[in-house]
Structure 1
Amino acid sequence: MRMVGGTPTRDPVRDLVVIFTEDADWHTRTLCRAIERQGLRVLVLSLNDCGFAIGETPHGLLLPGLDGQLPAAAFVRVIAKGTTEQITMRLGVLHALRELGVKVMNDARAIERCVDKSMTSFLIAQAGLPTPRTFVREDPAAMQALIDSAPGDSVLKPLFGAQGKGLRRIAAREPLPEATKVGGVYYLQEFVEGRRRDGLFQDWRVFVVGGRAVAAMMRRSERWITNIHQGAAGEPAPLDGAAAELAIAATAAVGADYAGVDLIEEAGGGFTILEVNSMPAWKGLQKTTETDVAAAMAHHLVSCLQPAAVG
């Protein structure tokens, strides 16, 4: 750490970026190389190992491997599952880094908004963007009444979830599962009948970085769940047009630097935004489009640091 008049300062290490993740997987290795090509060093950390050391370190945080200093930036790839207390503390570290002037991508506010699907839906709607009718409540009787009076199918989603896991299509008047099966909260979204091709279900994934669409694909499947992790096949999609414009607007609505936005093209025309993912995977997208997604994120990160951190 730098000393001024015998007092430690909180200036960041100008050429160091921390990647918060739980595994040195393909995504982490690819991102490390992309950031290093930008002339920066990378330190991989788990948020599980970080914490607060108020009154002990110059900035009040415990960041292993940094010797009391701060990084110039932090990239959040994965936050591990944990108790409410553990998740709150890890997000608290990210909040603190932002308060200390460290560029965090994506910061805790954007992550909180996207992990909570109800808040994502709320912010998208508040921004005037198209999204399905959505109802979120704890009361099983009230939610069952909605199902019983629904004109068509609904989609029951975990409030916290990704990669298409835990999705369930509920027909009108079909009994809902017990509250314990959904974490005590029912997130119900109107099922959107998307446009099909060759009898296959399809939707769009648009990857947005720094306010522009850098990669996009259409995902097709024989099942209505079209996530690549659930066996869907992808093919390149245009980076201009309504889908890209809506994805950019949705990313801005949740305050994210980068995001994977899921949209569906309705059978009658037009796009509807389904979800915004603040910690998206991009391996399938990169294979489909041959776009260097990690390079785009590294370039945006560097552009956010200039001129202070990069000469």
Structure 2
Amino acid sequence: MHTHALRVAIMSDETGWHTSRLKKALRERGAQGRCVDLADCRFDTTWAAHGLVIPGYGRGLPDAVIVRGIAGGTFEQVTVRLGILHALRELGIPVYNDARAIERSVDKSMTTFLLHRADIPTPATWVSESAPHAQRIVMREAAAGRQVILKPLFGSQGKGLLRLGADDTGCTPLPTLKAYGQLAYLQRFIEPLETPGFDWRVLVIGGKAVTAMRRVSEHWVHNVAQGARCEAAPLTAPLAQLAERASAALGLDYAGIDLIPCRDSPAGAQVIEVNGVAAWRGLQSVTPFDIASCIVDDLLNRKLAHSPRITSHNTLHDTPHAEVA
């Protein structure tokens, strides 16, 4: 039995709205949340027997970790930051989401592979280091009257997206891939079913879809960061099931699943993105469902309950009901 309040490290490279909500939800359950930047964590085999330095925890370790943000950096820096999360899991610390799941969701090619393998409807996708091969894909799709989207492999918030293929002028050529890490990630463009177009963001927590919104935009990119507006949306059973399957395919504790309307899919939608470090401020603005509280409850009741380091604690509460239509 613990003699102190549960101590939860919130890994984030910036503090703000999300971290404040998580700290408040933890505080309401008798737990203590502390923001830690992974860039400030270190491996040090002389500091303590476990070999890690987590700022704010002395020679000890937090009881659990919530990953809210990982700063970009060099390949080496990001490798070590993820290595800290891997090490915490190896030491028996529940990490929400753990490094393996984050790696799967950050790498769009692996996300696509795992969705395809799980037979989850997702647009046709090609990933290649060969610019000539990628250009042939663009030309082949254009010849069939289709377009493809060129995406950065590690991109987010709708940045760096380009539409290529059939248009009024013929075929848009593939740009130089230098800005894309010399890699072409191409995904077939799904034509909007109505104007303005929209997609859905469904939040999955602990394997259950809990709430959803529509992101509506005159532009074909529907990210809130690119100016899309958030609208409340019913969480239908087909959408919920598709989002839950996508989250499970990547092994995520919580996930933001982006789905686009599509006539060809039995569910009426295809999964286009899986976000393993999902922001939810836009979604929270259009739903009464308390997202941070649900994340914290799932961490305490499910993740910590199965931790060999922590067998019981009197701050655990029941998880609120999901608002599934």
Shorter-chain TM-score: which interval?
A: over 0.9
Q: CA deviation at 1:309?
A: 5.1
Once structures 1 and 2 are overlaid, which stretch shifts more, 161-170 or 171-180?
171-180
Q: Which runs of 5+ in 2 are unaligned?
A: 315-325
Corresponding position of 1:80: 71
For 2:177 and 2:201, locate their aligned partners in 1 and report how far apart those are by CA, in whole Å.
31
1:153 and 1:260 map into 2 onto residues whose CA distance is 25
- Superposition CA RMSD, Å: 1.6
Instruction: State yes or no: 1:253 paired with 2:252.
Output: no
Query: How many Å separate the matches in 2 of 1:157 and 1:135?
Result: 11
Q: Offset at 1:194?
A: 3.2
Give the conservation status (yes or no) of the 8 Å contact 1:14–1:309.
Answer: no
Residue in structure 2 matched with residue 297 of structure 1 by the alignment: 295
User: Aligned with 2:244: secondary structure?
Assistant: helix
Indicate the residue corresponding to 1:4 in structure 2.
Answer: none
1:77/1:279 contact within 8 Å kept:
yes
Equivalence for 2:23? 32
After superposition, residues 261-272 of structure 1 pair within 5 angstroms as: 261-267=257-263, 270-272=268-270
> Is the aligned partner of 1:310 residue 2:317?
no
Indicate the residue corresponding to 2:320 in structure 1: none
| Counterpart Cα distance in 1 of 2:193 and 2:290 | 29
Aligned length: 299
- What is the match of residue 199 of structure 2? 203
How do residues 128-277 of structure 1 correspond to structure 2 at under 5 angstroms? 128-150=119-141, 151=144, 152-172=146-166, 173-196=171-194, 199-267=195-263, 270-277=268-275
1:65 pairs with 2:68: no
Q: Larger deviation: 50-59 or 200-209?
A: 50-59
Q: Normalised by the size of structure 2, how large is the TM-score? A: 0.89
**Counterpart residue number, 1:17:** 8
State the alpha-carbon separation in 1 of the partners of residues 26 and 220 from structure 2. 37
Shift of 1:14: 6.3
Which structure 1 segments of 5+ residues have no match? 1-10
Q: In 1, Cα distance between the equivalents of 2:207 and 2:292? A: 15
Distance across 2 between alignment mates of 1:169 and 1:45: 38
1:174 & 1:164 partners in 2: Cα distance? 20
Q: Distance in 1 between matches of 2:280 and 2:164?
A: 29
Deviation at 1:87, TM superposition (A): 0.2
SS at 2:286's partner residue?
helix
Alignment check: 8 A CA contact 1:13 1:69 kept = no
Query: Partner residue of 1:7?
Result: none
Superposed CA offset, 1:119-161 (max 9, x none): 0010011111101110001110110011111121001111011
Identical aligned residues as a percent:
46
- Provide the secondary structure at the position in 2 that maps to 1:87: helix
Note if contact 2:259-2:273 (Cα within 8 Å) is conserved in structure 1: yes
Give the Å deviation of 1:240: 3.1
Tell me how far 1:56 sits from its aligned partner: 3.0
- Normalised TM-score (structure 1): 0.93
